[in-house]
Structure 1
Amino acid sequence: MIEAYRLAIAQLRDPRFRRPLWIGIALSVALLFVIYAFVLLLVQLLIPGALFLPITGQVQGLGSLFSFGSILYLLGLSVFLMVPVASVFTGLYLNDVADTVEAEHYRGLDPRNSVPFRESANDAMRYFGLLVALNVLGMGVFAVSNGWGLILLWLVNGFLLSREYFTMIARRRHAPDAARALQKSHMFRLWLPGIVLAAGLSVPVLNLVMPLVGAAVFTHMYHRLYKPVPSPDL
């Protein structure tokens, strides 16, 4: 795991990473604003009138979306909201990241499967709703648990993210059922890298690059865990 993260972070300097990196950051910021706008809309519906919060003062529905204080709260909420954003990222640019990693570190591989974009997007969105609900709930648990709720979220998010990232990486070279079976057979070895990814996604600003790092890490994990059985000599 440590080596996978070291290689993934080192490759951030690769020019081939620049396009998915900057597009990923832009999409992450945009998705954060969309989810945050939804949260403000709920505030507006559930708490009529203005809500007064520390530091920022008055927050009044969507009209506060682009205020300075609102940006500060967006950074704080990104501790919880970047996990579902990372889930969406896997369906959009995971193949580009994995291709770049394999071109650098695993040359000579057979051509990968051509996974339809619709399949990748559907797989990503399947986790998105669950992760949004889980992490919005986690905000409340965090508020009443003296911070221990965040550790619980790392454990749960780490499991879900490791399952999603690894399965989608494996799908590039296996049938869907085989990819899921491979993930299940290494479930516990993949959980710790997933927890590290979930923890990184809870650090404001750093979490903007963590979806790309996660895709690279689980590409390395796949190639370290999958040992193809050689064909018998005829």
Structure 2
Amino acid sequence: MLISAAAAALRQVFSPPMRAILLKSLGLTLGLLIVVWFGLTRLIQWFQSSHHIAADYPILDTIAFFLAGAGLFVALAYIMPAVSILVAGFFLDDAAAIVEQTDFPNDPPGRPLPWGQALLYALRFAGLALAVNLVALILIFVPGVNLVAFFGANTYLLAREYFEAAASRFRPLAEAQAMRRHFSVRTLAGGAMLAGLMVVPIVNLIVPLFGIALMVHLHKGLSRKALLEAPAAERLR
């Protein structure tokens, strides 16, 4: 089920309707990162000039600015997935609707979250993703621990957030959470796939749209499985 869902999700990500959302999301993500980069580099220059580093030690000033810039590049690479999740979070309902309409045209359409709730969801998800990646950044000098912590935390986080985003379009959030826990092996396997993509530069930028497409397919498959496994009396209700 997971492999077929992943193949369908990958096909969807590069389809014309989803490609438009992807390009819009990537443009906003890169624009936001450029603004952050510009602001932080200006802040470093202000700090150096206010402490007269450039005037007193011009060579040290150049080296310090170069090292700070390189450090910012590494830091931004770590927070890039969180920024892309924040930006793409505003398009998840649109992406889920595209997958539902094209791959499940005979099923009832899902209900998008209210705008305010969708905004809070995107901010919460991005905040959690940022926290996970900052912890991984702090642990970067601890061999092995960094990757294990990053992969484990992202597996759970991505499985939970994307599956519940897809499932809550069709059922109350509490029911979506219960369903995720009931099928935890399958949902965590999907989260592990997404977490693996998160460590690949550039590729990690498609994770939000690939993730929601994957979980839409996974939710549809698990919903049918749950219906088949339910007692006959419950299916007739």
Q: What is the TM-score of this pair, normalised by structure 2?
A: 0.77
Q: Distance in 2 between matches of 1:226 and 1:39?
A: 47
Distance 1:124 1:18, change over 3 A: same
- Whether the 8 Å contact between 2:100 and 2:109 is mirrored in structure 1 is no
The amino acid across from 1:133 in the alignment is A
Match of 2:212 in 1: 215
Q: Give CA-to-partner distance per residue, 1:153-174, whole Å, 9 cap, x none.
A: 0111111111011101111111
2:20 aligned with 1:19: yes
Q: Distance in 2 between matches of 1:106 and 1:219?
A: 10
Matches of residues 74-93 of structure 1 in structure 2 within 5 Å?
74=73, 76-77=74-75, 79-89=77-87, 91-93=89-91
Unaligned stretches of 5+ residues in structure 1: 51-55
Match of 2:236 in 1: 232
Distance 1:144 1:219, change over 3 A: same
Q: Name the % identity.
A: 27
Q: Distance in 2 between matches of 1:90 and 1:168?
A: 13
Q: Give CA-to-partner distance per residue, 1:18-45, whole Å, 9 cap, x none.
A: 2211111112223434565687689789
Greater C-alpha Rg = 2
Distance 1:104 1:144, change over 3 A: same
The amino acid across from 1:188 in the alignment is V
- Whether the 8 Å contact between 1:78 and 1:204 is mirrored in structure 2 is no
Matches of residues 49-128 of structure 1 in structure 2 within 5 Å?
57-59=63-65, 74=73, 76-77=74-75, 79-89=77-87, 91-128=89-126
In the alignment, which of 179, 183, 187 is matched to residue 176 of structure 2? 179
Greater percentage in helix:
2
The amino acid across from 2:190 in the alignment is P
Unaligned stretches of 5+ residues in structure 2: 55-61
Match of 1:136 in 2: 134
Aligned-CA RMSD value: 3.2
Q: Distance in 1 between matches of 2:90 and 2:134?
A: 23
- Whether the 8 Å contact between 2:88 and 2:208 is mirrored in structure 1 is yes
